[in-house]
């Protein structure tokens, strides 16, 4: 198993997502990205977000368009359009949309500054 890949998930729908959270950007990692055949990835988030008055720390992402593969995110410049689901008692519920892209290292993992 390789080094975990950090992803940035920008939530664009619902449009007021950022009003209820610190940012429209969510950051997290998943081991599912190592499986090229996986149609959906479960992403463990670095921090929780609030949706419908409940907090979530895990999301499920899937390609927004038919025929797309999530692994395209590794070849894209701006990201991959995705549908975003949160966990309910009945299973996963797709209720959001956004863009999945590769994220820079977390601030605590960033290389030390070389200022002189």
**Rounded Cα distance, 9 and 79, in Å:** 9
**Rounded Cα distance, 4 and 2, in Å:** 6
pTM of the entire predicted model: 0.85
- In a domain? residue 108: no
The pLDDT confidence band at residue 58, using thresholds 50, 70 and 90, is: very high
Range of the domain at 79: 6-98
- In a domain? residue 103: no
Strand partners, 59: 43
Mean pLDDT in residue range 15-43: 91
Nearest to 110 by CA among 2, 1, 6: 6
Helix (H, G, I), strand (E, B) or coil at 18: helix
The pLDDT value recorded for residue 110 is 57
- In a domain? residue 115: no
Measured in degrees and rounded to the nearest 5, phi and psi for residue 76 equal -90, 160
- In a domain? residue 75: yes
Strand partners, 44: 29, 58
Q: How do residues 80-106 score in pLDDT, each as one tens digit?
A: 999 999 999 999 999 999 999 999 887
Q: Total domain count for the chain?
A: 1
3-state secondary structure 46-95: EEEEEECCEEEEEEEEEECCCCCCHHHHHCCCCCEEEEEEEEECCEEEEE
């Amino acid at each position: 198993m390789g080094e975990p890949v950090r992803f940035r998930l920008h939530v664009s729908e619902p449009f007021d997502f950022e009003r209820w959270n610190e940012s429209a950007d969510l950051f997290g990692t998943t081991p599912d990205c190592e499986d090229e055949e996986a149609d959906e990835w479960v992403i463990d988030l670095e921090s929780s977000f609030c949706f419908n008055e409940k907090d979530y720390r895990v999301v499920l992402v899937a390609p927004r368009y038919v025929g797309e593969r999530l692994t395209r995110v590794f070849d894209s410049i701006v990201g991959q359009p995705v549908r975003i689901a949160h966990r309910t008692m009945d299973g996963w519920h797709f209720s959001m949309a956004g863009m999945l892209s590769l994220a820079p290292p977390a601030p605590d993992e960033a290389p030390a500054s070389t200022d002189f």
